[in-house]
Amino acid sequence: MNPARDNKGFILVPVLIIFAVVIAMVGDFSYEVFVDTGALKNYVISQRLSVLGSSAMDFSIEHISNYLKGLDYTYERELLLDLSSFVESEGLNLAVILSDENGKFNLNSLYTHSLTDKIKAIEGLKRLLRRLKLNEDISLIISDWIDRDSDEEYPQGERYSKNRPLYSIEELLQIPGITEEIFEKLKPYVTCYTDGRININSAPAEVLLTIDGITEDIAEAVINYRKERPFERSEDLKNVPGISPHLYQSLQGRYTVKALIYGITIRAEQSGIKRYIHGVVNTETLRLKYYREE
């Protein structure tokens, strides 16, 4: 046996172990640097998209202001704007959706001092739920959450109730019994930002039916009428078949022919990173009633 050779072998083992550890540490360090650099790049892109989205919000409000000038009526339920070409940036997608909030049923109609109006609002919401094939009891659950009183419309409905108007539609998800599935079905048809008047030029049949006195036949007649020409004045509703003088009078104050509140959704996307900005603007004051970024 050669002692010198054994000693060399004995020394070589820890050297190799140390070398392997160093290599592993360098590899981990390189990976962390790569990950940190990638995270920083993603953060920079995300912040840039946020700034672009905020600018697009300002642009959208200005666009709405210019669009509505001189108009006595509006009939588009949604307007799509592609702003990508306004920004020189490779792979950038910047889109805006403007939606007529007056074409939806205002859930805050349930927050009223009038018992009669509250009952009408509940019944209107029930008709909407039936059209969407959802349980009508949902109307009672929402009513207990919003209405002013502590009387239970639904068993234990007042237990965690707010008894205040909704601040945003997303607040529905806080109500016990309102699932994500229910919320997604309701979302396109309800609002909490208008004064309750429904735009008969843009509202779908589901929403028209929430108006007290509007039947399935009349809702269909309203839609057929506006296919030929939009309602330019409130008085034009009298020309719809099935609208009697008595019904016409009872509908006063419950509808409009022009969007007064617009929802704004901005989608900014680049390099697989997305930012969404949501807002609701009052067209008379051009001030945001709601703002959320995600």
Spell out, as residue ranges, where the chain has pLDDT lower than 70.
Answer: 1-40
**166 — phi, psi (to 5°)?**
-70, 140
- Specify the amino acid at residue 250: S
The contacts of residue 276 (CB under 8 Å, 6+ apart) are 53, 265, 266, 267, 268, 293, 294
Q: Which two tokens stand for residue 25?
A: 């540490």
Sequential DSSP letters for 177-246: T--HHHHHHHGGGEESSS-S-EETTT--HHHHTTSTT--HHHHHHHHHHHHHS---SGGGGGGSTT--HH
The contacts of residue 262 (CB under 8 Å, 6+ apart) are 64, 98, 99, 100, 101, 280, 281, 283
pLDDT at residue 35 in the model: 47
pLDDT at residue 106 in the model: 98
Q: Which DSSP helix (H) or strand (E) runs through 17? A: helix 3-68
The contacts of residue 167 (CB under 8 Å, 6+ apart) are 192, 290
pLDDT at residue 34 in the model: 45
pLDDT at residue 28 in the model: 53
Look at the pTM and tell me if it is higher than 0.85: no
pLDDT at residue 160 in the model: 82
Residues 230-261 pLDDT 10s: 999 999 999 999 999 999 999 999 999 999 99
CA distance 104 to 96: 19
pLDDT at residue 103 in the model: 97
- 74, 199 in Cβ contact below 8 A? yes
